[in-house]
Structure 1
């Protein structure tokens, strides 16, 4: 059979609105000695995608006009130095800016260190939705280093990172958790993850801080994990005790939040998976993701809910960006199918 020469992709032609996306036919990348060429089966959407599209500071991480930073797929070619993967292997990765291109495409070439085998007990769509959120959640969990009796507050817990993090914390025996969510679908997903109704606070409530303090009998939290930023970063700062831990996942805290954190002598942890790629510590990605897949295979973790928005097309990308921007994912990770599961 003649080897394919071209791939299909959705490219971003300029910063701004979703009208700047278009379809393109491009050469399939050739894997280097330490790289693996993958036929992408599914990819997921993340807030950084639309932030890049808008031309926000996240655009500095772009190295290709093809957006998309995580995927699942099947190995179709390997470099001569690759030993961990073979043609036909089902794989997944948080490729970020480390692959040949983004994942709104039919193919990608990437270093073998960041790739892992897909667990057999989850679908390609579920696998595509997992890597970025799971790596972030695992970093949050491992860097906390708090006893299971610690009181932990999480904003935006029904998102991709939050759901994995909640499951990790519950599996490790943490019971003093309090989280925010904004709609019934999100609350339902958090209940399925193992939280009690009393642990879930609607962030739209008036006097939100007072509501939380009353419910907590005036006790402040040992740590707050900010997955939202903006005005909720101020809430995360307000609920912390002196010398507590503030984990910043978004870099979107407000000046008021930063002033409160400084006044409380807070330990600030910036959570960034991107940091490891800057110093080419590529094994971090594969090693960390293998910890997640092992927990999935043992049933310690379950895949997060996904919503397949469509097949690879400009329209699917536009719709997905719109849903993310309007915060309408409703506790599900948005996924685009590149090839049908049985293909």
Structure 2
């Protein structure tokens, strides 16, 4: 049933029959748009389910009576509503246009609508066809299933919609979207060369971008270089300063998606000669508390002998430093 597909009361049926005779609008009369320049209805009207459809009919001042019909049901006659459906409203009834609106359109509203006019005792009609589209919706799909390699399997996907939707299948491998496989922070002393490394697995290959504090790092920044390969990106600092320390974000992306990881460049304190000397002195002056240990008070000679054999070790540390 279409718009206003309701049963009329017996007394109203007589009025409807009289109105049909008045307009001489027999059910199922084919449209003949060339009979007159008016009334001129729109061509096909296409709307989506749930939207509003506007049906317009162009007329002129010679028209004395107008009406909109859905198949054999009268929706409006002039300004009078004959339809019980609250979704159908009159938009305009002027000397040039007669239009109605069907709100919250559903699929059962689809079909022909007729604009009928009376002029100089000659009834004329024009027809418009309402087409209702429904967004595709998957109503049934196979659940997850495990199967042994080499066996056959059947997957089901049922979808509805108007026009009839086309169903396509695509295999998404777990490694198709990008994912970062390795991203580790590193410590570098001030003034030294440092490298942050980001590895990503993706098909197609990922493109890399580096950020610090939401600001993208571009190639050519003084003292910083970005080296990109299909699955690897390096952020190289040639002379690390205090300003370079902090958190960096590596973003890997391709047409299937993107992912990111946070990598920290932190300060690494380099041992100095004074630190090494202090370590050696501490080792030399600390008495051995194991079995057979010699007391500092009773055996000062043994303590001095221990310092003498540690002297080459101190010299070796200094040579490695400088």
Q: Give me the TM-score of the superposition, normalised by structure 2.
A: 0.17
Q: Which has the larger radius of gyration?
A: 2
Query: Which protein has greater RCO, CA pairs closer than 8 Å, 6+ apart?
Result: 1
Pick the structure with more strand per residue. Answer: 2
Pick the structure with more helix per residue. Answer: 1
